Amino acid sequence: MNIRQLSSSRFIIILSKEDMGAFNLSIEKIHSQDREFQAVMRRLIAIAGDRVSFSLKNKGMYIETLHRAEGCMLVVSVYPKRSLGRRRYKIKESGSVMFTIDSADALTDCMAQLYKNGFGGLRGEIMYIDGRYCVIVSPGGQRAHLALNVLSEYSVDRTKEKIKIAAAREHGAVVAAGFPVMRIGRCFA
């Protein structure tokens, strides 16, 4: 058996036919699903860990096998595993969100505030139903949560329930659609 380091993250293990016999390996057994091959690879990696000049602990490995007439060659590429530390998750809004606003003054102030903060491209629609304005938006993008925060300041109710949103669309009168912030906010900013 011969072990050679090729780079800072790759090394090869060359096994002769005698080495393969000693490890009870055959060309047919060399694939990642075979338990015997996995056990042999753990032993070979442990041996190689003593001979290469970089740490193999907590590393992932990609192993390529090359068949040769006098045995086989294993090319091992080492890469760092993902950190086991704390992961951060970002909550993304998905689907439509409906905000209910009580008065026309509050609606125009909200649209002006959104327009001033650069949310003119926010897609959605505004419906008028039962003396209230329902602002329905489908947030997307990196700053969507900021737009939702502004809408929350002016609204008396917020919902993601599809039935309530569908009822507002069915029974409400359309005030603005497409880019309502651009249409209304630009006038009052």
Domain residues of the chain, as ranges? 2-80, 97-188
Cβ atoms of residues 135 and 155 within 8 Å: yes
Q: Is 43 exposed, middle or buried (0-12, 13-18, 19+ CB in 10 A)?
A: exposed
Q: Please determine, looking at this structure, whether the domain spanning 97-188 carries the CATH number 3.40.1050.10.
A: no
- CA distance linking residue 134 with residue 150, whole number of Å: 15
**What does the pLDDT look like over 79-130, one tens digit per residue?**
877 655 556 655 555 688 999 999 999 999 999 999 998 888 888 999 999 9
Backbone torsions φ then ψ of 106, nearest 5 degrees: -65, -35
> pTM for the whole thing?
0.50
Q: Which amino acid belongs to residue 187?
A: C
Higher pLDDT, 22 or 55: 22
Per-residue pLDDT, 87: 60
Beta bridge partners of 3: 13
**What does the pLDDT look like over 160-174, one tens digit per residue?**
999 999 999 999 999
What does the pLDDT average to over 49-67? 78
Q: Is the pLDDT of residue 63 over 70?
A: yes
Contacting residues for 87 by C-beta, under 8 A, at least 6 apart:
none
Q: Which amino acid belongs to residue 186?
A: R
Higher pLDDT, 87 or 74: 74
Q: What crossing angle do the helices spanning 144-154 and 104-116 adopt, rounded to 10°?
A: 160
Beta bridge partners of 158: 99
Per-residue pLDDT, 142: 67
Per-residue pLDDT, 153: 93
Does residue 11 sit in helix, strand or coil?
Answer: strand
